[in-house]
Amino acid sequence: VLTKEVAWGFSVQMSDDDPAAKLQTYKQQLAQVEAAIEQDPTNREWTKLKADLLEVIQLTSELAQVKASSSNAVQDEELKTYSIGEKCQAIFEQDGQWYNAKIVALATDGYFVTFLSYGNTAQVEFNEVRPYQRPDTSGWTKGTECTAIYPADSRWYDAVIVETRATVVHLVFKGDTDVVEVDIDFVRLKLVPAEERKRKPEEEAAAAAAAKASSLPKALEIRPDDSEEAIAKKKRKLNMFKRQEKKVQEEKSSDPRRSSWMNFSKKNKTISKSKNWHDPNWDPTRDHGELASRQQMEKYTTYMSRES
């Protein structure tokens, strides 16, 4: 029997990063709903579900188009050839983030890079390299405390910034008086203590609102030049998008309970298949090894009493 839960069953398991696969699943669900409507044309639930699915399919199609166009634009803009010794940015496999690096060798399917300021070398693919970005030095004023690599031994030491230039930083290492020139990528500002990093409530609220807004598709943003019909259409799609997000969150929150039930069900199946499942007095919660030992001791005691 087709139910609403069955019709939506696959959607919560699909990855948000694969809109094409989600679109295919929604179309399959739509076909099931349409078949159910043919059998029961007066069922309002199926009619409503069909309308929702059509709207979701349209929204997912738009999201897939936006993602495909943005991905192609990034590849066309940033994919280029790099030579040995050239600075770039590369993805670090452990966290998926971009870091400044230098090309140290060429490979058949990518490059070998050394991450600046860290020193570790890794192999990356061609699409995991993009143009170098100069570190943001807007807060690197004279007297700012930092840590930097000392050129003589390539180790990190505390220092104070004297002057910041385009590619290098002039600084004085603590315990020394000489000004030393260090590559801009080999300098890090000291971390601000946790109590100083705390933001005000209004700043946290603004950051949360910005994060929420950034998660919405660009195609659904309401613009000043949109017509009333376009605004109403976008609002309907936004509501559908939010419902989908809520459904995914609810599904994630119910995963621990589902796994607990599966463990419980698996345990019951193991008990039911035990060798004594036919015995009506079999109690799976008791320690039957201890019971067997106790019965053996009772038999031995009875035998010894008879012999005496």
In order, the DSSP letters of 132-155 are: ------TT--TT-EEEEEETTTTE
- pLDDT at residue 302 above 90? no
pLDDT value of residue 12: 41
| Cβ 89 vs Cβ 134: under 8 Å | no
pLDDT value of residue 70: 56
- pLDDT at residue 49 above 90? no
User: Which pair of structure tokens corresponds to residue 20?
Assistant: 């094409």
- pLDDT at residue 230 above 90? no
Mean pLDDT of 167-190: 92
Whole-number Å distance between alpha carbons of 80 and 75: 9
pLDDT value of residue 300: 66
Whole-number Å distance between alpha carbons of 237 and 78: 32
- Could you report the per-residue pLDDT of 56-113, keeping only the tens digit for each? 888 888 877 766 665 555 455 446 789 999 999 999 988 889 999 999 999 888 999 9
pLDDT value of residue 63: 78
Q: What is the mean pLDDT of the chain?
A: 75
Domain ranges of the chain: 4-78, 87-131, 145-195, 228-277
87-131: what fold?
Answer: SH3 type barrels. (2.30.30)
- Could you report the per-residue pLDDT of 123-149, keeping only the tens digit for each? 999 989 999 999 999 889 999 999 999
| Helices and strands of the chain, counted as H and E runs | 8, 10
- pLDDT at residue 10 above 50? no
Fold identical between 87-131 and 145-195? yes
For the beta carbon of residue 262, count every other beta carbon within 10 angstroms: 10
- Residue that wins the pLDDT comparison between 43 and 285: 43
pTM attached to this predicted model: 0.39
pLDDT value of residue 105: 93
Query: What φ, ψ does residue 280 adopt, rounded to 5°?
Result: -65, -20
Q: What's the alpha-carbon Rg for the chain, to the nearest Å?
A: 33
In CATH terms, 145-195 corresponds, of 2.60.40, 3.40.50, 2.30.30, 2.40.160, to 2.30.30
- Which range of 38-47, 135-144, 259-268 scores highest in mean pLDDT? It is 135-144
User: Which pair of structure tokens corresponds to residue 156?
Assistant: 């990190």
User: Which pair of structure tokens corresponds to residue 212?
Assistant: 């929420």
Share of the chain above pLDDT 90, in %: 25
Helical (H) or strand (E) element with 284:
none
The residues, ordered by sequence, that sit 6+ positions from 114 with a Cβ below 8 Å of its Cβ are 101, 102, 104, 120, 121
- What is the distance, to the nearest Å, from the Cα of residue 175 to the centroid of all Cα atoms in its chain? 44
Whole-number Å distance between alpha carbons of 239 and 298: 73
- Residue that wins the pLDDT comparison between 274 and 205: 205
pLDDT value of residue 123: 92
- pLDDT at residue 232 above 50? yes
User: Which pair of structure tokens corresponds to residue 186?
Assistant: 């080999």
Mean pLDDT of 267-296: 54
User: Which pair of structure tokens corresponds to residue 308?
Assistant: 């005496």
